[in-house]
């Protein structure tokens, strides 16, 4: 546990996380679609269920639009310039879209409209790893994960990227090959799995010259997830329940 109280300016980033194990989704505040797609860099294609991107490809069978990896940068640039509600999922091959049944297509439209699934949102033909939903301001993001490992790796990636960005910004005069970045492992994230089921605030700060810490604070059940980051001072006044040292 940290020995002294920190000013809010000492924190590098904050992430709200709440996991629903039964329905295989997590709620986030503090994640961006840019960081999400950066983590899932091996994706084949994205099926766009809700968006305003105008240069997507069109699938005749489903009457839905999609993008391939070569278009991701343009898609993200367009979103940065014109934020909007998003809903998309991954798939491996356009031919797989052509075998989706009317029932499955209806379920996809339901997810995009209601931001919830009435059965598993993971489809045999698509072999999708996730379904991603966020609002226009990205104040709250809901992600369905097929595999818990993807959740653990994503959370670790968010903090590791922030550490990397911070190290680069303060290491201008150092030789790059002398910099060894501290790294949060997915296994360490998994050890706190029980905490995520109640909803937590994770706060990254510099712990020493070469290491970092992540404070974990449990939040009340009646909290509004999209208001957590706008009320940081109130939450940070509470002592952290756990400290992850990196």
Same domain, 130 and 209: no
Looking only at the bridges linking them, the beta strands covering 11-20 and 64-67 are unpaired
pTM for the predicted model, two decimal places: 0.92
The predicted pLDDT at position 4 comes to 60
Question: Looking up tokens 């999609």, which residue turns up?
Answer: 66
Domain containing 50: what range? 32-137
The predicted pLDDT at position 12 comes to 95
Q: Cα–Cα–Cα angle for 81, 82, 85, nearest 5°?
A: 135
Residue 178 has pLDDT above 80, yes or no: no
Number of separate domains in the chain: 2
Residue 173's pLDDT band, with cuts at 50, 70 and 90, is low
* 15 Cβ neighbours under 8 A, 6+ residues apart: 28, 29, 30, 31, 155, 158, 159, 201, 202, 203
Helix/strand/coil for 55: coil
Which region among 57-61, 142-146, 217-221 has the lowest average model confidence (pLDDT)?
217-221
The predicted pLDDT at position 176 comes to 58
Report, in this order, helix, strand and coil percent for the chain, each rounded to 5.
35, 25, 40
220 φ/ψ angles, rounded to the nearest 5 degrees:
-60, 150
Average pLDDT across the chain, whole number: 92
Same domain, 163 and 109: no
Same domain, 124 and 169: no
Same domain, 189 and 131: no
């Amino acid at each position: 546990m940290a020995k002294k109280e920190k000013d809010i300016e000492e924190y590098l980033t904050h992430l709200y996380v709440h996991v629903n194990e039964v329905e295989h989704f997590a709620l986030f505040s503090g994640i961006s679609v840019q960081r999400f797609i950066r983590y899932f860099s091996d994706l084949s294609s994205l099926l766009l269920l809700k968006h305003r991107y105008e240069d997507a490809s069109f699938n005749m069978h489903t009457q839905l639009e999609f993008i391939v990896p070569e278009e991701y940068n343009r898609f993200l640039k367009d979103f940065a310039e014109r934020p909007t509600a998003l809903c998309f999922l991954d798939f491996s091959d356009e031919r797989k879209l052509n075998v989706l049944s009317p029932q499955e297509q209806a379920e996809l439209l339901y997810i995009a409209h209601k931001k919830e699934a009435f059965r598993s949102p993971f489809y045999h033909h698509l072999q999708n790893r996730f379904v991603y939903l966020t609002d226009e301001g990205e104040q709250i993001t809901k992600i369905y994960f097929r595999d818990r490992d993807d959740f653990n790796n994503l959370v670790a990636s968010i903090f590791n990227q922030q550490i990397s960005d911070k190290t680069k910004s303060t290491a201008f005069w150092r030789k790059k090959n002398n910099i060894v970045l501290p790294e949060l492992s997915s296994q360490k994230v998994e050890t706190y799995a029980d905490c995520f089921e109640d909803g937590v605030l994770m706060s990254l700060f510099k712990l020493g010259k070469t290491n970092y810490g992540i404070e974990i604070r449990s939040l009340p059940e009646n909290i509004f997830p999209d208001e957590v980051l706008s009320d940081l001072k109130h939450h940070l006044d509470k002592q952290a329940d756990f400290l992850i040292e990196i």
